[in-house]
Amino acid sequence: MAIKLFNSQTSMFCEKVRVVFALKTVPYEVVDVRADERKSLLEYTNQRKVPTLNYNGECVIDSTVISARLEKDHPQNSIYPEGANNKGLCLAIEDWSDEVLIHANHAMRRADTPEAKQKAEAEWDNHFKTLDQMYTGKKFLFDNKLTIADISIFSQLHYLYTAVKYDVPAQYKNVHAFLENMRQTLKLKSLGDSFDAPSL
């Protein structure tokens, strides 16, 4: 049996999962859902969301569930920090990033009037302030070790940069430093590239 990832190269949640696969060096096949307008995904799962995994015959949906499942079966290079307190905090930040930053990304992408753009910028500005404080003096959030919290945050910021084409304002120096750290960690030639390496 093989592992198949129903993937869209531009989806931030798919990028999150591709990074986890690479960290753990777990091989997988890619099904590009854009190639057949999600027909094979719909046939397999009766729903449209990616990332979806055919995990040796078992259907696993949602980037958080997929990441947790990969961690359970492939514990090498853990995506979580040490200790129950930090793990709980890490999961909460993963969820915040996936549910809250995505909202800001959608708002910015869909902003089609100056008022909507201003509102979306204000929403992101709040999040940049939070992120800039979170990354003060830190390469990564937990013990300077890359975790799923950093990966989730990066995938949203990366989408903002690549797909929404919005630059993080220069004043948020810690956010810029984090993006550069992640670019180097993921061995991306430029921040404009999407991540799809098989290992790290």
Ligand X SMILES: N[C@@H](CCC(=O)N[C@@H](CS)C(=O)NCC(=O)O)C(=O)O
Interface positions with ligand X (CB under 6 A): 11-13, 48-51, 62-64, 98
Cα–Cα distance, 119 to 196 (Å, whole number): 33
Other C-beta atoms within 10 Å of 171: how many?
11
Cα–Cα distance, 167 to 171 (Å, whole number): 11
How far apart, in Å, are the Cα atoms of 144 and each of 43, 68, 136, 148, 176? 42, 20, 12, 13, 16
Pull the structure tokens for residue 179. 């993006």
- For the bound state, the minimum distance from the C-beta of residue 188 to ligand X, rounded and expressed in Å, comes to 19
- For the bound state, the minimum distance from the C-beta of residue 151 to ligand X, rounded and expressed in Å, comes to 12
How far apart, in Å, are the Cα atoms of 86 and each of 79, 91, 97, 192? 12, 9, 16, 31
Q: Which is nearer to ligand X, 151 or 179 (CB)?
A: 151
Q: Which is nearer to ligand X, 8 or 174 (CB)?
A: 8
Q: Which is nearer to ligand X, 11 or 181 (CB)?
A: 11
- For the bound state, the minimum distance from the C-beta of residue 170 to ligand X, rounded and expressed in Å, comes to 28
Q: Which is nearer to ligand X, 22 or 33 (CB)?
A: 33
- For the bound state, the minimum distance from the C-beta of residue 130 to ligand X, rounded and expressed in Å, comes to 20
